[in-house]
Amino acid sequence: MKDITTIRLPPGTANERCFSVLRMTSTGNHMSLKAQLDARRGAFEASTPPGIVAALQRSIAELVQTGLVRQVVRAGERAPLFRLRSNTGAFGSLSEAVDRGPVVVSFFRGGWCPFCRLELQALEQAHPEIERLSATLIGLSPLPEDDSCSSFPILKDPGCRIAVRYRIAFTVAPQFRPAYVALGYPERSEKDPEHWVLPLPATYIIDHNGIVVLSYVDADYTTRLEPTEIAVALAHLRARAYPSSSV
Average pLDDT over residues 133-145: 91
Query: What is the structure's pLDDT at 35?
Result: 96
Domain ranges of the chain: 2-19+32-241
Strand 154-156 relative to strand 169-171, pairing:
unpaired
In the chain, the percentage of residues whose pLDDT exceeds 70 is: 81
Prediction pTM value: 0.87
Instruction: Write out pLDDT tens, residues 26-81.
Output: 444 468 999 999 999 999 999 999 999 999 999 999 999 999 999 999 999 999 99
Picking from 35-44, 105-114, 131-140, 181-190, which range would have the lowest pLDDT averaged per residue? Answer: 181-190
Superfamily of domain 2-19+32-241: Glutaredoxin (3.40.30.10)
Confidence of residue 144 (pLDDT cuts 50, 70, 90): confident
Instruction: Write out pLDDT tens, residues 172-198.
Output: 999 999 999 999 998 775 566 678 999
E strand map for 53-153: 83-85, 91-93, 103-107, 136-141
* Residue of higher predicted confidence among 132 and 24: 132
Average pLDDT over residues 106-110: 95
Asked if pLDDT for residue 108 goes beyond 90, the answer is: yes
What are φ and ψ of residue 234, in 5° steps? -65, -35
Under 8 Å between Cβ of 112 and 118:
no
The per-residue pLDDT of the chain, averaged, comes to 86
Confidence of residue 105 (pLDDT cuts 50, 70, 90): very high
Under 8 Å between Cβ of 189 and 195:
yes
Query: What is the structure's pLDDT at 239?
Result: 87
Residue in 17, 21, 46 with CA at minimum distance from that of residue 31: 21
Under 8 Å between Cβ of 208 and 98:
yes
Residue 68 per-residue DSSP state: G
Instruction: Write out pLDDT tens, residues 211-230.
Output: 999 999 999 999 999 999 99
Asked if pLDDT for residue 21 goes beyond 80, the answer is: no
Strand order in the sheet with 154-156: 2-6, 212-218, 202-206, 103-107, 136-141, 154-156
